[in-house]
Amino acid sequence: MDIKAFKMDGLGNDFVIIDQRSQNYNLTKDQIIKICDRNFIGCDQLIFIQKSNEKDARLEFYNSDGSISGACGNGTRCVADLLSKENNDKEIILWTNSGALKSQILGNNLVETEIGIAKTNWNEIPLNKNLDTKNLNIKIVNKNNIEHIGGTSVNVGNPHIVFFCR
């Protein structure tokens, strides 16, 4: 099966983007995992561009383990850049499982995407129990072998954990 795909990078996250607006590819979870495998093509997420009557397009995101993600700001910016070049438009609106995301093409490979208000309640992230999302008390060790304890949890279309380090 021949599939036209794009490999793009957005602020350190890399994506394989498959345009399904004219042909639908029904990939299995195992095929998605294989595409994302760093020993094959490799990417953080696989993104499908799909037709949409409401917006410029609909996006479907898959993590490298084959699970569905609600949205990804960096991936959305990559697709917005592709579509803006296709239709010469400076504003692109893409529908995701987390809602509509509006992107502005600023030029010089700069794309700004409004991802909405971050969710910080434990059940909106979601966490499996009621925890203090401002300090999850998780220990990490950086590349210099310095230990950090904390972690702030937030959902901006998909769950993130953020560590503030010096």
Q: CA-CA distance, 117 to 56, in Å (whole number)?
A: 22
- pTM for this one? 0.84
Q: Which fold has domain 5-114?
A: Diaminopimelate Epimerase; Chain A, domain 1 (3.10.310)
Closest CA to 97 of 65, 124, 72: 72
Q: pLDDT truncated to tens, each residue of the chain (166 aa)? A: 678 899 999 988 999 999 999 999 999 999 999 999 999 999 999 999 999 988 899 999 999 999 999 899 999 999 999 999 999 999 999 999 988 999 999 988 899 999 888 899 999 999 999 999 999 999 999 889 999 999 999 998 888 999 987 6
**All CATH 3.10.310.10 domain ranges in the chain, comma separated:** 5-114
Give 161's strand partners: 153
b/e sequence 113-128, b meaning 16+ C-beta within 10 Å: bebeeebeebeebeee
